[in-house]
Structure 1
Amino acid sequence: MIETGTGCKEARIVEWIPEQTMQQNYDFSSYFRPSIIILKILGFWRPERNMKFKGIYNCYTALCSLIWVQFLLSQIIYIINNRNDVQEVTAVLSVTVTFTINLIQMMFFYKNTNYLKILIKEMNRPLFQVKCQKHYHIAKNTERMYKLMFKSCLYLAILTDALVTVVPLMGKEKKSSIKGWFPYDYTKPLYFILTYIFQKLVFIWNTFICLNTAMTIIGLLTQFGLQCDLLCCTLDSLDDFYTEGNVLYEISLEDKLKLTKDRERFSIEMTKNLVICVEHHRQIIRVVKDVERISGTGLFILFVGGGLILCSSLFPLSVSSLILQSAFNTPWIGCNVKFQKIMLLYMMKTSKPMSILTGGLFTMSVPVFVSTLRTAYSYFTLLQNIQ
């Protein structure tokens, strides 16, 4: 804490303790709560070690996975039986590939659930917390944007499931929109009803699992973008903060005016603040690398099946390039050479953009997505020529 005299110091304590308490308890984990609840209901959120009825829940997860595999087997056998009919194979292949990609991606997600839990908890660390009203408003706006995105995707998922379930039954001929092989004559009324319910339940189940696993990853990526925004805001107004216990707090206007009159003390305090910002930036990079390590392969698979969604979700990371400009906006002119040297080294560090590698092969970006679309179109053209 900055020493400004006993009276001033006591006044600051009375004024700022409630603010510090409010600022250091922003619950970033609330982003993930709806997705985690849905994944628990669907059986694909790894339980805690001390969870009651853990064995029963694991059996439920295994049963759900078995049903998913049975659905895929019916698709694969149907493709093998109709391998000479390009139209039939193509009609089933889109569903088969989608569900296979979703299953593999879900397996990687489930495997790394415990690591994801740790990352989610880390987002509430004091270093990542909001530190002033500007930070709070940025965090709130980002949270509202994410919740709007989640609700919109949830609404579209429900609408899609409803249409896929109801529309095939509206025609004169009752038939399923999903083809597959079954060891019985599923055209008979009773068998048709049971098969139809089985396929639609798997489809709905798959939709909600994919939605919430994707939204969990998107939530983490949104957090990275938010942390970059908070860091930019801090650097833009670095002289509005002071350091206490390796945490930044907003300084009062009176203390700020007194501090700026003493160039040496001002440089010392700005250096402390800058060190915290450097550590903040380092921790953001570390968490990004942790996400890359535990979910890079799963993201690669998801990127292949839905590149557009991931390119949109990774957009928040692009704001990391603004950190360099925000660092330049700090009051470095009024500081000593030591501060300026640290600032120069830090700006050189921030000049390198953050990114995530998928499968250790390439960085997910718009050019890569365009390349994926071109490949898909080439495949579509090939099928047309074969037909």
Structure 2
Amino acid sequence: MLKKVTPKPSSMKNSDCLTSAIAIMQYTGVWLPDNLEYRWRVMYMALRFVTQIVMFYFIILAEIGYVFKYRHDTERMVDAAVLLLSHLVQAVKVMTIVLRQPRIKRLIALGDGPEFTHTDPKLKAIIERAVKMTSLVSNVILCSASITGLFWCMVPALQDKVTLPLRTAYPFDISGTYIFTVMYVYSSVSVITVGVADAAENFLVSGVLILAATQVDLLNVLLMDIEGGKAESYEKAVLCIKFHQQILKYVEEIANIFNFPIFCQCVVTSAIVCMTIYKISVTQEPVELVTMIFYLLCVFTELLMYCYPADILLNKSLQTADAAIPIWSGNIKTAKALQMTVLRAQKPLTINAGGMFRISLPTAAAVVQTSYTYYTLLQQSLKK
């Protein structure tokens, strides 16, 4: 006789959508694992030194050296600056995550805490669907970054004159066969490691923004489920008010932690897109053309990883007032309790990059428009 198996409750956490990104950051020395013993902590610091100082910051210095060496050659400077600018912005992200990691971990713990965990089947279904979709997108982005890095490393090897994958200048001669091979492998490993790590660092921000937008969506569902004429409507309204306050704190902390890296990303992306389009327009190598197209798509994806979730958060937060206003026709006590929530919801939840501008899809469009302006100026400069 078959025994009846009772299904286990879902153990999915809201932060499961960040699992792949956090794992990549751990392997690349950016994200310090919890509860490490002293010797393992020392070993992890050694790993961080190799992956960040040796594989990343030394490359940035070499790229700066190349730009300085060919500062009078506009075309070579453009060629080198494509990745240099990306690496400089990534350095800002890495320092932000390393220095503010305790705050980021508390933010993730808050997202997994009882304030944002729901037992209602309808609400659980919404959050689980969002987490699964976000996890899928995370894996696709990380795979795309890996493919782009591989293509970038293959291009120089397929040309008539083999060069390093990166435009770098070193204070020693690398023309010898053995030293050139070592530097080629070093540059290739750096490109792939740093590229995938950059995608993971971007998705950390994107993931917490998506979770915030999903919680706002759940708040709107809870508000619409309140029936003003019923006795328990006031208790439900109070719970919604407390939930709304937690969401406000969550979004405010996201903005406080990540506003400067987001600002740097949006500002520098204009120049990166401009120079990438220029390289696509002048290249004669099919493999390099495919590589630059992949890279351009990654840059656009990187920008949208900030702007799209922030735009969803903005629009869903504006719906909160609409979800609460119908209750005013019922219980007066309930309506008064929700009055401050409705007034607060008139101001959307936004992420202001560096306190300068609001992150949203129109921001992404403005960045692309600025990139086209830069591209036009660059073409005119090179023609002269």
Give the distance between the partners of 1:26 and 1:150, measured in 2 at CA. 16
Residue 20 of structure 2 is aligned to residue 28 of structure 1:
no
Aligned residues: 341
**Structure 2 equivalent of residue 316 of structure 1:** 312
Displacement, 1:277? Answer: 0.2
Displacement, 1:186? Answer: 2.7
SS in 1 for 2:324: helix
**Structure 1 equivalent of residue 272 of structure 2:** none
Which of 321, 333, 336 is the equivalent residue of 1:338? 333
Residue 303 of structure 2 is aligned to residue 307 of structure 1:
yes
Give the distance between the partners of 2:326 and 2:190, measured in 1 at CA. 54
Query: What are the ranges of 5 or more consecutive residues in structure 2 without an aligned counterpart?
Result: 1-5, 270-301
Give the distance between the partners of 1:148 and 1:28, measured in 2 at CA. 14
Does the CA-based 8 Å contact 2:31-2:98 persist in structure 1?
Answer: yes
**Structure 2 equivalent of residue 9 of structure 1:** none
**Structure 1 equivalent of residue 102 of structure 2:** 114
Residue 220 of structure 2 is aligned to residue 237 of structure 1:
no
Relative to structure 2, which stretch is displaced further, 342-351 or 151-160? Answer: 342-351
Residue 214 of structure 2 is aligned to residue 226 of structure 1:
yes
Deviations 1:252-281 (A, max 9, x none): xxxxxxxx9xx6xx33x2111101101111
Displacement, 1:172? Answer: 3.9
Does the CA-based 8 Å contact 1:235-1:329 persist in structure 2?
Answer: no
Does the CA-based 8 Å contact 1:231-1:277 persist in structure 2?
Answer: yes
**Structure 1 equivalent of residue 380 of structure 2:** 385
Q: Which one has a bigger Cα radius of gyration?
A: 1
**Structure 2 equivalent of residue 60 of structure 1:** 47
Deviations 1:145-188 (A, max 9, x none): 10121121022112112212223323443333422112344343
Residue 9 of structure 2 is aligned to residue 46 of structure 1:
no
Give the distance between the partners of 1:125 and 1:270, measured in 2 at CA. 25
**Structure 1 equivalent of residue 250 of structure 2:** 287
Does the CA-based 8 Å contact 1:26-1:124 persist in structure 2?
Answer: no
Give the distance between the partners of 1:161 and 1:57, measured in 2 at CA. 25
Equivalent positions of 1:75-90 (< 5 A) are: 75-90=63-78
Aligned-pair RMSD on alpha carbons?
Answer: 2.3
Change (3 A) 1:193 1:235: same
**Structure 2 equivalent of residue 151 of structure 1:** 139
Give the distance between the partners of 1:106 and 1:322, measured in 2 at CA. 35
**Structure 2 equivalent of residue 273 of structure 1:** 236
Does the CA-based 8 Å contact 1:321-1:353 persist in structure 2?
Answer: yes
Q: Counterpart of 2:108 in structure 1: which amino acid?
A: I
Equivalent positions of 1:163-202 (< 5 A) are: 163-202=151-190
Deviations 1:197-226 (A, max 9, x none): 111111111112111111111110011011
**Structure 2 equivalent of residue 253 of structure 1:** none
Does the CA-based 8 Å contact 2:220-2:319 persist in structure 1?
Answer: yes
Displacement, 1:101? Answer: 1.1
SS in 2 for 1:275: helix
Equivalent positions of 1:351-366 (< 5 A) are: 351-366=346-361
Residue 105 of structure 2 is aligned to residue 105 of structure 1:
no
Which of 86, 93, 111 is the equivalent residue of 1:123? 111
Does the CA-based 8 Å contact 1:46-1:114 persist in structure 2?
Answer: no
Q: Counterpart of 1:322 in structure 2: which amino acid?
A: Q
Does the CA-based 8 Å contact 2:17-2:131 persist in structure 1?
Answer: yes
Change (3 A) 1:235 1:364: same
Displacement, 1:100? Answer: 1.1
